[in-house]
C-alpha cells in the first residue's frame, strides 16, 4: 500500500504535519522573533522595499510574512513590479527582488518606465538565478516559432511574463507582443480574438499552459453560450470553436516544477483523494490539468494562477464557516509548495476569528501531491536540491514536484547580507546583484525599451479592459 501524500492539518491553534516534506514546510511557519526583528530593523535603516514571489524558501517567506514593515509584498509575478513602483512612489529608496532573474528585470523595466530609474534594484545572489521555462524561450526553437508568427498575417504574440527582458525585446522586434501571467492569460487571449478579427495568437513558451488553454477553449465550446459569455461577453460557443485553429502554442517549453505533476500523481489524486478539492496551476501537465478542470466544472476545484488558488481556498473556507457546522476541508495543492506560507496565514486568520466568535470548529488539510523518493542533493551551495530521483520527498520522474530549486537560491542569510551592504559601500560594488543590463539594441531601440513595451501593453489591458490601440494597430500594420 502506498504512503499517503504529505500534508499539513491547520487548526485555529495548531498545525500538524504528516510526512517529512510537510514537516519541512511547517518548521518555518512560526519564525524566530529575533530574525523578524533584525530584518525589520535593517529595512527601516535602509528604507528598502521587498517584493517576493509566492514560491520563496519557506524560512525566508515565513520571516517576511511576520515582519511589520510597510514595504514588503509577497505575490505572483503579475503584481511584483507594480508593487515595486508603488513602494518607490511612497518613498522606498531601494527595492530588493526575491525571485528569479526575469522578475528583477521586470521590476527594473517598470521602475524605469515610471520615472524611478534612480531607485536601485537588487537580487540576492551574485550568480544568475535562472528559470528553466525562461531558458526555453531563448533557444533556437523559440526563435523559429517566432519567425513562423512573423510570416503569418495578423499575428499577435502572447508571451508568458516568465521570460527574460531579452526574449521580450527580440519577440517584439519580430511580432507585436504582449506579456501575460497565469492570472490574466485567458482574458488576454480571448480579448485578442474578440478585438482583432482573423487574428492568429501565438502563445509561449510554456507548452503545458498552451495545451491546457487549447483544451479549455475546446471544452468551453461545448458548454451553453451563457456559460461562455460569463467568461468573456464577446464570445459564444461558435466563436470559441472558430478561434481554435488560430490559437498556436510553443511545444518545447516547460517549468521543471510543474513538469512533474504528471499521470502518476493525477491518477492517485483521482483514486485516493476523491473527497478533496483539487487546485492546479495552469502550467501543470495535461493529466493533472484534466483532473483539476473536471473538479472545477463540478465546483470542487480550480485551475489558474497562484493567486487564483489562494483565493479559491479562502472562498471554500468562508463558505464552510458560513454554513455554521463543524467540518474538515481537504485541498490538493497542485503547484509549488512555497504557496503554503500564504495559504496558512490566510486560513489561520479565518479560523482564529471564527474561534474567537464561538463559531464552528473547522480545520483545513493541505495535501502536497509529491512522490516520496525524489529529490537529489547536488552538493552546491546555490542549488542544493534539484528535481531528480534520490532519497527524501519532493519530486520524481513519475510525477509530483513541489519545490523550485532556483527560487530557493533566495535565502534569508543572502537577503540580510546584501541588504546590509546597501548604502554602506558604493553602488558599483553591488553591481553583480543588480538585474542584468542589456546594453545592445535592436533597430535603434534598447533592449529595455523594446522588452518593456509588451509589459506596458499588459498593464494597459488591465487598466482599459481591452488591448491598447497601439498594439492593435501594430498587429494590423505588419504583413
Phi, psi of 421 (to 5 degrees): -85, -20
pLDDT value for 258: 44
Residues of the chain with pLDDT under 70: 1-2, 78, 130-134, 253-262, 283-286, 370-406, 438-439, 479
267 vs 226, 284, 287, 399, CA distance in Å?
32, 14, 8, 10
pLDDT value for 197: 95
- Select from 298, 296, 303 the least CA-distant residue to 261: 303
DSSP 397-426: TTS-----TTGGG--HHHHHHHHHHBTTB-
pLDDT value for 156: 98
Do 196 and 472 meet the contact criterion of CB atoms below 8 Å apart? yes
307: three-class secondary structure by DSSP: helix
pLDDT tens per residue across span 138-149: 778 999 999 999
pLDDT value for 397: 32
pLDDT value for 446: 82
Domains assigned to the chain: 7-26+256-403 (3.40.50.10800), 33-130+411-433 (3.40.50.10800), 133-253+438-477 (3.40.50.10800)
Grid coordinates representing 84 are: 515595486
pLDDT value for 398: 30
pLDDT value for 29: 80
pLDDT value for 223: 87
| Separation CA 3–CA 204 (nearest Å) | 37
pLDDT tens per residue across span 259-271: 455 677 788 888 9
Amino acid at each position: 500500500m502506498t504512503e499517503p501524500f504529505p500534508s499539513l492539518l491547520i487548526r485555529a491553534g495548531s498545525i500538524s504535519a504528516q510526512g517529512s516534506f510537510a514537516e519541512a514546510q511547517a518548521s518555518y511557519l512560526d519564525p524566530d522573533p529575533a530574525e523578524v526583528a533584525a530584518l525589520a530593523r535593517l529595512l527601516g535603516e535602509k528604507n528598502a522595499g521587498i517584493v517576493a514571489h509566492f514560491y520563496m524558501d519557506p524560512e525566508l517567506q515565513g520571516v517576511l510574512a511576520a515582519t511589520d514593515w510597510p514595504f514588503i509584498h509577497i505575490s505572483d509575478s503579475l503584481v511584483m513590479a507594480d508593487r515595486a513602483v508603488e513602494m518607490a512612489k511612497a518613498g522606498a529608496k531601494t527595492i530588493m527582488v526575491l525571485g528569479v532573474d526575469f522578475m528583477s528585470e521586470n521590476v527594473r523595466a517598470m521602475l524605469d518606465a515610471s520615472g524611478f530609474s534612480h531607485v536601485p534594484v537588487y537580487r540576492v545572489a551574485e550568480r544568475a538565478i535562472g528559470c528553466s521555462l525562461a531558458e526555453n524561450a531563448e533557444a533556437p526553437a523559440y526563435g523559429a516559432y517566432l519567425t513562423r508568427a512573423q510570416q503569418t498575417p495578423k499575428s499577435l504574440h502572447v508571451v508568458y511574463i516568465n521570460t527574460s527582458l531579452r526574449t521580450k525585446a527580440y519577440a517584439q522586434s519580430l511580432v507585436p507582443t504582449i506579456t501575460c501571467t497565469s492570472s490574466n492569460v485567458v482574458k488576454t487571449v480571448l480579448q485578442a480574438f474578440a478585438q482583432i478579427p482573423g487574428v492568429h495568437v501565438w502563445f509561449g513558451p510554456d507548452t503545458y499552459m498552451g495545451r491546457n488553454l487549447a483544451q479549455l477553449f475546446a471544452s468551453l465550446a461545448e458548454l451553453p453560450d451563457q456559460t461562455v459569455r460569463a467568461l468573456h461577453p464577446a464570445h459564444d460557443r461558435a466563436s470559441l470553436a472558430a478561434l481554435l485553429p488560430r490559437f498556436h502554442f510553443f511545444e518545447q517549453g516547460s517549468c521543471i516544477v510543474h513538469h512533474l505533476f504528471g499521470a502518476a500523481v493525477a491518477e492517485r489524486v483521482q483514486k485516493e483523494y476523491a473527497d478533496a478539492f483539487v487546485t492546479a496551476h495552469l502550467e501543470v501537465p495535461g493529466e493533472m490539468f484534466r483532473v483539476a478542470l473536471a473538479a472545477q466544472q463540478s465546483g470542487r476545484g480550480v485551475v489558474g494562477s497562484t493567486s487564483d488558488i489562494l483565493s479559491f481556498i479562502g472562498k471554500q473556507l468562508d463558505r464552510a464557516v458560513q454554513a455554521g457546522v463543524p467540518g474538515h476541508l481537504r485541498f490538493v495543492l497542485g503547484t509549488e509548495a512555497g504557496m503554503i506560507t500564504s495559504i496558512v496565514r490566510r486560513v489561520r486568520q479565518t479560523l482564529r476569528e471564527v474561534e474567537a466568535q464561538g463559531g464552528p470548529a473547522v480545520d483545513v488539510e493541505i495535501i502536497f501531491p509529491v512522490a516520496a523518493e525524489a529529490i537529489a542533493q547536488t552538493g552546491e551551495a546555490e542549488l542544493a536540491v534539484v528535481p531528480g530521483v534520490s532519497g527524501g520527498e519532493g519530486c520524481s520522474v513519475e510525477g509530483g514536484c513541489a519545490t523550485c530549486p532556483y527560487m530557493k537560491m533566495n535565502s534569508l542569510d543572502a537577503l540580510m547580507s546584501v541588504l546590509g551592504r546597501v548604502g554602506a559601500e558604493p553602488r558599483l560594488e553591488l553591481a553583480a546583484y543588480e538585474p542584468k543590463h542589456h546594453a545592445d539594441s535592436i533597430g535603434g531601440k534598447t533592449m529595455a525599451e523594446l522588452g518593456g513595451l509588451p509589459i506596458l501593453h499588459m498593464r494597459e489591458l488591465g487598466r482599459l479592459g481591452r488591448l491598447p490601440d497601439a498594439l492593435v494597430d501594430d498587429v494590423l500594420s505588419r504583413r
